[in-house]
Amino acid sequence: MRAVVLAGGTGGSMEALTGPRPKTWLRVLGKRLVEYSLEGLVKAGVRNIIVVADGDYSDLASELTSKYRELVDLRIVEQKAPGIEGALLSARRHVGEGEPIVLAYGDIVAPPGFYSSSIAAYNASSSEALMALTPVASGLQTYGVVMVEDRRVTSIHEKPKERVESTYAYGGLMVVPPTFFEMVRDEGSMALAMRALIQKVDVDAYIWSGPWYDVDEPWDLLRAAVGLLDTMGETRISSSAKVPESVTLDGPVIVEEGAVLDHGAVIKGPAYVGRKAFVGMNAFIRPYTDLEDSAIVGSHTEVKRSVLQPRAYVASFCYITDTVIGEEASVSPYVLTLNVVPVVKAPPRFEDLVLGASKRVKLGSIIGSRSKVPPRAALQPGTVVGYGEILS
């Protein structure tokens, strides 16, 4: 069985973090988003994978082929035209004929079981196609909503504006016949091709009820990190990490190779400290924090339930909470991210970040990659600092 992974597209709302690069390059717990799809497919037994990427994808191609070349026949294909349709048509001439194709979105964060159980359900079925679905509690209008009858998909509605009598969202994984790519070409859009497929062949519905995160908005990156950290059950410290006796680790905490924790730092898990990350003297890393490779947290700074992308820098004496900080962003000393928002102003998909009986929603800021925040700034809840923006 072969697979096509769609790994292109910045996603308009994600551009503060991505700039010109695909959003699937963003990282959660030490992995690029696209790697969650790749690892799931490899563990499910798929050995021939095409990754479709756009932009300057040469670095990504080198990184992924080096990492996975002993596990899978991996090919990186340039996306020639925009949108999902452009990605599928770019992959079309590489998929061949005969065998079914696993079509996976590279911005889905889910455990390997999502992929293996979906593919196993297809193999056990007599249908020509299968669609993985997941039940969602809120924000349904932001997904592709799927109607199901007797375990068969009957229709799909892309981000419906009107109420739809279903609670199933499209999970970003399908098994399709190779002719599906011709349907995309003929119909001119992914949505119309999916509808044509449903009309022409039986499409089984596989319901996945485990962890699953569609990273379509900047806040989804935080949701994915919180969800993954919540399942982390061990403390693991690399032998090459520097962790003095004066550091307090209250697990579960993962500290990767080359990371440095300075004297008096406190890290309360679940938390992740990536390769060559630095946590300054007397800094306080609170639960559900993800520090990616070479991220820096200055002395006496407190970080809570936040994601710092690679080489993000937060200076001393800051308070950062419920916030995503992009790659190579710079936050000056004494910066605060305010975070208490009325529920009525909360974005969709935040049901798992509503806290306690007060029903308060905690939203900090999105601080874009390569941006700069000046000293003593107090960022209001929901603030977005654009890619490369320098606040005055």
Tens of pLDDT along 20-56? Answer: 888 999 999 999 999 999 999 999 999 999 999 886 6
Q: Where are the domains positioned within the chain?
A: 2-215, 229-385
CA–CA dist 279, 273 (Å, integer): 9
Whether the predicted pLDDT of 358 surpasses 70: no
Which residue bears the tokens 């004929």?
Answer: 97
Residues in a beta bridge with 340:
362
| CATH dotted code for 2-215 | 3.90.550.10
- Which tokens belong to 277? 């990350």
User: Could you tell me which of 132, 97, 110, 116 has the C-alpha nearest to residue 203?
Assistant: 132
Report the amino acid identity of residue 269: G
Instruction: Judge if pTM exceeds 0.85.
Output: yes
Predicted local confidence at residue 356, as pLDDT: 47
CA–CA dist 326, 19 (Å, integer): 10
User: Could you tell me which of 266, 240, 263 has the C-alpha nearest to residue 253?
Assistant: 266
- Which tokens belong to 129? 């196609």
What digits encode the pLDDT tens for the residues 249-301? 998 999 999 999 999 999 999 999 999 999 999 999 999 999 999 999 999 99
Quick one: 229-385 is in which CATH superfamily?
Hexapeptide repeat proteins (2.160.10.10)
- Which tokens belong to 125? 């079925």
